[in-house]
Amino acid sequence: MATGQYLQELALELVRRGHEVTVVTSRRAYDHPEKRFPKSETWRGIRIHRVGATGFGKTAKWRRASDFATFMFCCAARLAFMPRPDAIIALTSPPLISFLGACLAKFHRCRFFYWVMDFNPDQAIAAGWLRPNSLAGKLLERMSRFSLRAAAKVIVLDRFMRDRITAKGVAPGNISVSPLWAREGEVRFDETERNRFREEQGIAGKFVVMHAGNHSPCHPLETLLQAARQLRHDPNIIFCFIGGGSEFRKLQQLTVNGQETANIRCLPYRPLSELSAVLSSADLHVVVMGDPFVGIVHPCKIYNVLSVAAPMLYIGPNPSHVTDLIDSMKNGHFCAAARHGDVNRVVSEIERARKCADNNNRQVPQSLMSRHSIGTALPNLAAVLESI
């Protein structure tokens, strides 16, 4: 998943700078819990310890809760027998793993960094999975605030996350906005791979509208699906959904039968080696954010979309981090936005993008790409950690 990929690149950067890095993570693959990795190994200078957990998967809430709870228990047990660290960095996946990191940092009296990507329990409350006034909701909120207060630095991805955390009483000086970056080494526009992938999937010669990445309730697809239904009689437009997650499985079931979904393709996650081919194959990328999730989740997929310089359609609230990026692109690169429920606008923008399609002239403002390049954003993040 994206958080693990970004953590990997940060760990490699810290090793390059001369730090000793140990990672504690799960033995099970993110979307295939039946697959297990070795318990421990050293990879490119990073010591990796993997712990067990139940592997029930994500088909029901109790299954996910069991996987999270058992991972937390096994993680705590493993950390208890590790040498004292100088600093602990905790992410937000699984939810509230940061609380475990904050407690361990208090015990060892070492520095704690909280790298916020998907903010919980705010995300669970916004999605309707958790009632804010319930006992569980109140407990998880207290655990979250403990993590925020314990951090020497809270690292967030955009100004909306910063404002949400500031509203919880965290001093602005303890928050650093560090944007994510594109995977430039693996992701670029590749005409040859684009054509190969489109031939393999039987979509050559079509105008491909793509939603790639995690399909979760945070990224509601109903407006896009309604647009697909409205355009189902146009044989030259294909909607391609690539990824995984709970909503992806629902989408797969929806497309098993029925004429209304004949113009929809569903493909599972592709290996990193195919990412350029997959993203380059789209004529229009769609980025979706649910209305309640501004400042809670961050659309990190947008950076790889920018790397292939693909036209982009955003469906979601305004303002948001995505609209901030759209506003910064003034050189004619095709970017459009629509609100949830405005199906006619989405259809209109898809048709307009098809008329302006020019895969031979894909360009994104260099100032924007340099700000979100791995060569700029990753060293800046590492410098934030070293500055404490």
Query: Which of the residue ranges 101-105, 271-275, 322-326, 380-384 would you say has the lowest mean pLDDT?
Result: 271-275
**pLDDT computed for residue 365 by the predictor:** 60
For 109-210, where are the alpha helices, taking DSSP H only? 122-126, 135-150, 159-166, 191-200
Residue with tokens 């990507």: 117
Mean pLDDT of 232-238: 95
Tokens of 134: 């319930």
Q: Work out the mean pLDDT of the chain and round it to a whole number.
A: 90
Beta-strand pair 207-214/46-51? unpaired
With cut-offs at 50, 70 and 90, classify the pLDDT of residue 350.
very high
With cut-offs at 50, 70 and 90, classify the pLDDT of residue 306.
confident
Plot region of 365 (φ>0 → left; ψ -120 to 50 → alpha; else → beta):
beta
**pLDDT computed for residue 23 by the predictor:** 96
Q: Distance of CA 104 to CAs 27, 116, 209, Å?
A: 21, 18, 46
**pLDDT computed for residue 257 by the predictor:** 61
Digit-coded pLDDT (tens) for 83-133: 999 999 999 888 889 999 999 999 999 999 999 998 999 999 999 989 999
- The closest of 78, 75, 28, 77 to 56, measured between CA atoms, is 28
For residues 155 and 186, which has the higher predicted lDDT (pLDDT)?
Answer: 155
Fill in the amino acid letter for 37.
F
**pLDDT computed for residue 24 by the predictor:** 95
Digit-coded pLDDT (tens) for 253-263: 777 665 567 89
What CA dihedral angle connects 47, 49, 55 and 58, to 10 degrees? -50
**pLDDT computed for residue 60 by the predictor:** 76
Tell me 143's DSSP state. H
**pLDDT computed for residue 162 by the predictor:** 97
pLDDT at residue 64 greater than cutoff 70: yes
> Per-residue DSSP letters for 94-136?
STTHHHHHHHHHHHHT-EEEEE-SS-TTHHHHHTTSS-TTSHH
Digit-coded pLDDT (tens) for 3-49: 888 999 999 999 999 999 999 999 988 767 788 999 999 999 999 99
CB atoms within 10 A of CB 40: 12
